[in-house]
């Protein structure tokens, strides 16, 4: 059931499509979703595959829809002999307005370090792309009581040397690795505790004003059944949705859980 929440007025719900959907399939998705969002009180964005960015951005403009289109990764170089890589300026040219960086699958499958992610964050900001920075602990790290230290290390290393002004452009996403694609989900209380910790860590590095304004999403097996209990938490300002964002009807059902959208 929708319920009252009191924080950042409009939460941001981002669909991360990972390696799913062609450009044509993305357009079909948008044609179904866009008409449903006319009265939406939720900001919506979709991180689509590289090959779908241009077509998706064009379709959003054609539909006059309030949906941001972004990417799921990028390289920290402007150009060069990096086979298979994509630069921020290329994403911007294709129509992307944001980029997910540091997703757990990039950190753990592709062994990306926080230092490398920090370079990407800086390049994204330089090129006018808004970063969604992901941080989160593994199941083993949580069991060992290392959650706070892992979040502190990932956050500070991934955002090192950013100014307060640059921090205003950052979106943070807490994604417990043990809940990614597993069907498991942190309880609302566990998620809220981690989000509060993230906000306190930002306050310690960049001040309370920056921390208070920071938008923090939760990601990890988000579904229509648990979205409302997550969104009602004081320090959860949005959701990063994986598999449940692939069907427009299911994704919209998640959006409906925020108070003020007709169910």
Residue 27 lies in a domain: yes
Q: Considering the candidates 103, 105, 127, 195, report the single residue annotated as catalytic.
A: 103
The confidence score (pLDDT) of residue 7 equals: 52
Residue 137 lies in a domain: yes
Those residues of the chain that have pLDDT short of 50 are: 1-6, 260-263
Concerning whether 31 is annotated as a catalytic residue, the answer is no
Residue 46 lies in a domain: yes
Residue 217 lies in a domain: yes
Residue 225 to residue 210: CA distance in whole angstroms: 32
The confidence score (pLDDT) of residue 4 equals: 37
Residue 123 lies in a domain: yes
Concerning whether 192 is annotated as a catalytic residue, the answer is no
Residue 4 lies in a domain: no
The confidence score (pLDDT) of residue 39 equals: 83
Provide the domain count of the chain: 1
Q: Domain range for residue 107?
A: 12-78+86-255
Q: Considering the candidates 105, 127, 175, 192, report the single residue annotated as catalytic.
A: 175
Rounded to the nearest angstrom, the gap between the alpha carbon of residue 241 and the centroid of all alpha carbons in its chain is 8
* Structure confidence by residue, pLDDT tens digits, 105-128: 999 999 999 999 999 999 999 999
CATH code, domain with 35: 3.20.20.70
């Amino acid at each position: 059931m929708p319920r009252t929440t009191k924080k950042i007025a409009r939460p941001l719900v981002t669909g991360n499509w990972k390696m799913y959907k062609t450009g044509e399939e993305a357009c079909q998705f948008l044609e179904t979703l866009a008409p449903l969002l006319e009265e939406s009180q939720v900001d919506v964005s979709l991180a689509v595959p590289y090959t779908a960015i241009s077509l998706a951005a064009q379709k959003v403009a054609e539909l006059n829809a309030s949906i941001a289109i972004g990417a799921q990764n990028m390289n920290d170089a402007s150009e060069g002999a990096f086979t298979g890589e994509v630069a921020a300026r290329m994403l911007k040219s294709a129509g992307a307005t944001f980029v997910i960086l540091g997703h757990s699958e990039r950190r753990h499958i592709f062994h990306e370090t926080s230092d490398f992610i920090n370079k990407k964050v800086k390049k994204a900001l330089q090129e006018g792309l808004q970063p969604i920075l992901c941080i989160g602990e593994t199941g083993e790290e949580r069991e060992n009581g290392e959650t706070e230290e892992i979040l502190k290390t990932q956050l500070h290393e991934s955002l090192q040397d950013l100014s307060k002004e640059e921090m205003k452009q950052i979106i943070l996403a807490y994604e417990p690795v043990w809940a990614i694609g597993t069907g498991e989900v942190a309880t609302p209380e566990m998620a809220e505790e981690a989000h509060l910790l993230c906000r306190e860590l930002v306050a310690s590095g960049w001040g309370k004003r920056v921390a208070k304004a920071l938008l923090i999403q939760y990601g990890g097996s988000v579904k229509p059944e648990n979205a409302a209990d997550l969104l009602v938490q004081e320090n959860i300002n949005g959701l990063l949705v994986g598999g449940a964002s692939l069907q427009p009807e299911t994704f919209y059902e998640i959006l409906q859980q925020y108070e003020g959208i007709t169910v």
